[in-house]
């Protein structure tokens, strides 16, 4: 049984509940959290919020799709071209790395054009799997082509060595 990563759409503010219900069904899932650091005059406060509101990623085979649809608080799969959208394993790994290393991440929608993927592969800064990271000034950006999002975070001045962030050197652009 081949498993793929898919995105499911949940009811508002139910990502954690859905993840717990799926875990009880022994279904591998992931909902990325954005670490929000709030500076107050006397101390810093850290809050964790879902990075992608109402989205949970699931690693399942086609046979397990019914179990997902029958889970409380799940609305449906996210579809692309009439089929449940498959998310590349690399993108899940990159999301995990990015959310572990950076905080106050912003998401920016980026149009997904199926014809664009041929162009992407020929770019010298992007490998065949489509990972893309750019660094400009103090901002780092990670493009998630199968999701149509750009993740953006600010680099800390104390550590500009982006090669320590778990991203491959061949995928970096300055």
CATH code for position 12: 3.30.70.940
Quote the pTM value: 0.78
Question: Residues 55-65: pLDDT tens digits?
Answer: 999 999 999 99
Question: Residues 39-77: pLDDT tens digits?
Answer: 888 898 999 999 999 999 999 999 999 999 999 999 999
Rounded to an integer, what distance in angstroms lies between the CA atom of residue 28 and that of residue 5?
A: 9
99 and 161, same domain (yes or no): yes
Q: Hey, what are 130's tokens?
A: 């489509």
Q: What is the pLDDT of residue 7?
A: 96
| Number of structural domains found in the chain | 2
Q: What is the pLDDT of residue 19?
A: 96
Tell me the residue range of the domain where 16 lies.
1-87
146 and 75, same domain (yes or no): no
Of 87, 117, 148, which residue constitutes the final position of a domain? 87
pLDDT band at residue 107 under the 50/70/90 scheme = very high
10 and 68, same domain (yes or no): yes
Q: What is the pLDDT of residue 73?
A: 97
pLDDT > 90 fraction of the chain, expressed in percent and rounded: 54
171 and 93, same domain (yes or no): yes
Of 28, 53, 87, which residue constitutes the final position of a domain? 87
Mean pLDDT over the full length of the chain: 80
Rounded to an integer, what distance in angstroms lies between the CA atom of residue 96 and that of residue 103?
A: 12
């Amino acid at each position: 049984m081949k498993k793929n990563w898919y995105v499911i759409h949940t009811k508002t503010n139910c990502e954690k509940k859905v993840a717990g219900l799926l875990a009880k069904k022994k279904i591998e899932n992931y909902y990325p959290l954005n670490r929000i650091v709030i500076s107050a005059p006397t101390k810093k406060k850290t809050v964790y919020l879902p990075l992608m509101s109402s989205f949970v990623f699931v690693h399942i085979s086609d046979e397990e799709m019914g179990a997902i649809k029958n889970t409380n608080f799940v609305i449906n799969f996210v579809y692309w071209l009439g089929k449940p959208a498959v998310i590349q394993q690399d993108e899940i790994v990159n999301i995990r790395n990015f959310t572990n290393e950076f905080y106050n991440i912003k998401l920016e929608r980026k149009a997904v054009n199926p014809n664009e993927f041929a162009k992407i592969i020929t770019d010298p800064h992007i490998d065949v799997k489509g990972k893309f990271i750019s660094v400009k000034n103090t901002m780092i950006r990670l493009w998630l082509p199968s999701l149509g999002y750009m993740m953006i975070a600010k680099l800390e001045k104390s550590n500009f060595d982006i090669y320590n962030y778990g991203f491959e050197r061949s995928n970096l652009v300055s």
